[in-house]
Amino acid sequence: MPRDLRAVLFDLDGTLADTAPDLAWALNQVRREQGLAPLPFEHIRPAVSHGSRALIERGFSLAPDDPRFEPLRRRLLDLYRANLARETRLFDGMDEVLAELEARGLHWGVVTNKPAWLTEPLLAALELDHRAAAIVSGDTVDQRKPHPAPLIHACELAGTDAAHCLYVGDARRDIEAGRAAGMHTLVALFGYLDEDDDPATWSADALVATPADILRWIDTAD
């Protein structure tokens, strides 16, 4: 185990929880309302970690300054908020990872760019809100990832410092934020990576193919 590891922090969408089915559903509902056919799930999934703007760009091929963009984005979020946990689940094996971390006396938490009005009810629906030592959303502090401030704040909530934390995420900004904060970092290859992503170049400590690999890395890393 890395010396004195005391906490493991997770990105939410595409790392801790598989939220893509519900976000893809909401996007396709907006497309149906606009008289468009639904998009294949495989086309939508890689955009999920990048938020509602990326989803609207992918779903409608609109630039953010297009006057149609923001109303469509608001409609997407309204539909998603009302259907946060239709199919969303922890990734296979993640519940066992969390239970093992707790058994070892390690804190765990969530640092996401998702706003709190979506993060908090989702974690409550997954019955994780009272287990997490830290929950930091995209609007908890003034900065968002890739800035390190949300991760540093999560460490404070968990009662430790960045040097004793591990951050797991599925996007380049997650690894940039973790490294800038002075944390160990892992790339979740089971998350929402796009075909153009090259996580081997992100300078993380390691790439993990499954949630169980997180524990394996903890057990074998120096």
Specify whether 11 is catalytic: yes
For residue 202, the SS3 value is coil
CB burial of 186-222 (b: ≥16 within 10 Å; e: otherwise) equals bbbebbbbeeebebeebebbeebebbebbbebbeeee
Which residues, 6 or more positions from 124, have their beta carbon under 8 angstroms from its beta carbon? none
Per the CB < 8 A criterion, the answer to whether 214 and 16 are in contact is no
Closest CA to 137 of 121, 125, 126: 121
Q: Which of 13, 18, 174, 197 is catalytic?
A: 13
Q: Which of 4, 11, 78, 92 is catalytic?
A: 11
For residue 39, the SS3 value is coil
Specify whether 66 is catalytic: no
Q: Which residues are catalytic?
A: 11, 13
